[in-house]
Amino acid sequence: MLSRVLLLFGFALSAAAASAATMYEYIIVGSGSGGGPLAANLARAGHSVLLLEAGDDQGDNVNMSMILNFNLAGNDPTTRWDFFYEHMTWRTKDGGFYVGTSPPAGAKQLGIYYPRAGTLGGCAMHNAGVSALPQDSDWNYIARITGDDSWKAENMRKHLIKLENAEYAPGSNDHGHSGYLTITQTPVVLANGSDDRTFVQIMADATGAGRVSLDQLVTRDMNANDPNRDTSTGIFGTLRHSDSQGRRTGTNTYIRATVRDPAKYPLTIQLYSLVTKILFSNSSTTPTALGVEYLQGPSLYSADPRYNASAKGKVGQAIASREVIIAGGVFNSPQILKLSGIGPAEELKKFSIPVVVDLPGVGTRMADNYETSIIRLGSRDLHNVGGPYAVMLKSSVANNTRDLYLFCGALSFEGYWPGFPKDYGHSEYECAIVHIGPHSQAGTVLLRSSDPRDMPEINSHFFDKNADTDLTAILDGVKWARNAFDRVPKGLGPWKEVHPCPSPNTNCTDVEQKEFIRLQAYSHHATSTCQIGGDNDKMAVLDSKFRVRGVKNLRVVDGSAFPKVPGAFPVLPTFMLSEKATESILADIK
């Protein structure tokens, strides 16, 4: 067997490619927050695992390893995979990008920018690290539609406790303290005279918590084991999967720790390996996954900005004695399934792909949270400001649970485009707004061709259904933040609003603001393209144990498995999903 350490750092790859006949118990495709921890967990349970990753290992790249560098991480060409939705960004004749609605002559429309991370550790290596639990109702929904009570919120918390090292909650029995995922709270500067103190006090007054100490508010646990948590509003501390020094923890660190452990767990990491299809045996009445075929070489996927179409890669195969597990993420997992003959039959026939199983739900019902922001510029530069804090709210159209997550601070984040974000200087202050539980779930991931190196066609179909309900909720968040901003003392104010009501047009109508939100809403939390569902749901791709319907020895374990977006940020729920899958897989062996 090849040296696992050499493979981790990308060496000896040609030897790995030559070992096409090597057999492992499990083959896992993709090293993100679903596949990466699962691979480590199964290896630590004594099972031989091959983890295939299309990118390389950038764990020592400070853009990736330091959580506050997430904007740099999102723009780093060594890890970036450039996906695009249906409009807004253009490729110019000279190979650059134009962002806007009046592109230069000859520019090619690409879409709304949606960067993903093609590297060991997946998108958990370039996100902002926000680690928030979903509402209990999100877990309970899965239990209800599948009839599997192990998904109930009361049963899912054990997975959080197992995986986390909650440094911010020492001694709490409701949190874990020995897991691989270190979680800390972002500090907020509350010294007398700091602008952060001024803003937090204003936000506290606006939420009716002005008599509670500010230190208590900015350290409130948004992941508390509290039956009233999902209905509680106000200020909370922001949680991130990083240690006290700001170093990113999670996928990459856990994979590396497993490979380097003196126990010599049987985990093999093979980098630069783009999986092209799943191999099946048809010796029985039910197709059975036997392994995968892949192309080996750097930058073989067209989303990679370093992609060279003339570089074909070397074909290799790997065999699994137990299972193949796909964890390529919301865009690539459905693409791999479809390229392997699992998906809507008519779409597969269009590209002359033999149909293994007609599963119409593959690549459909994609969901995503809507995000927008209100940005204002003060009358002077801000002083003594730290990281953002969270404000949880209920909109006027919310049901019982809160449906708005705001993170407010001296920052500028307006979405994604090549080179984001725009810097407005030292007077900028923003509340970014995430709408939890959008009412439209109509996105699609469709094949562009049968070439596995081609990106699929991705269409979010934002606001296709119940648009005014969602727009009203988001606008409620904007108005709340604006009213709070207006309370700042003279000197710091008056404000100049950048958007959605650019100064001096401070009286723009609700219709105008909703149109701005509709056109400029962004996202980075897509899920649900390979959904778990009940036996009576013809669009369900997976059962409650992550098993792909209609075949044997094949599962999908990543954010594509969620029936709907879990809460405001899906990364922590996906880590928990991985623990849930570990439990299901090991139980099947017994």
What span, in angstroms and rounded, lies between the C-alpha atoms of 362 and 344?
Answer: 7
Residue 443 is classified by DSSP as B
Are the beta carbons of 387 and 432 closer than 8 angstroms?
Answer: no
Q: Is 555 helix (H, G, I), strand (E, B) or coil?
A: strand
Q: Strand pairing of 49-52 and 444-446?
A: unpaired
Which residue blocks in 45-105 are alpha helix, DSSP H? 62-65, 70-75
The secondary element (H helix, E strand) that includes residue 520 is helix 510-520
Residue 346 is classified by DSSP as H
Q: Is 111 helix (H, G, I), strand (E, B) or coil?
A: coil
Using the structure block, give the residue that is written with the tokens 């500028």. 412
Are the beta carbons of 43 and 8 closer than 8 angstroms?
Answer: no
Is 128 annotated to bind a ligand? Reply is: yes
The secondary element (H helix, E strand) that includes residue 329 is helix 329-339
Which residue blocks in 153-305 are alpha helix, DSSP H? 153-163, 195-206, 214-217, 251-260
The secondary element (H helix, E strand) that includes residue 182 is strand 181-185
Measured in whole angstroms, the distance separating CA 511 from the mean position of its chain's CA atoms is 31
Is 96 annotated to bind a ligand? Reply is: no
Residue 555: CB atoms within 10 Å: 26
Is 127 annotated to bind a ligand? Reply is: yes
Is 129 annotated to bind a ligand? Reply is: yes
Measured in whole angstroms, the distance separating CA 26 from the mean position of its chain's CA atoms is 24
What span, in angstroms and rounded, lies between the C-alpha atoms of 324 and 24?
Answer: 10
Q: How many residues does the chain have?
A: 590
Is 121 annotated to bind a ligand? Reply is: no
Are the beta carbons of 468 and 396 closer than 8 angstroms?
Answer: no
Give CA angle at 307 (305, 313), nearest 5°. Answer: 150
Are the beta carbons of 483 and 497 closer than 8 angstroms?
Answer: no
Binding residue ranges: 127-130, 275, 559
Binding residue ranges for FAD: 127-130, 275, 559
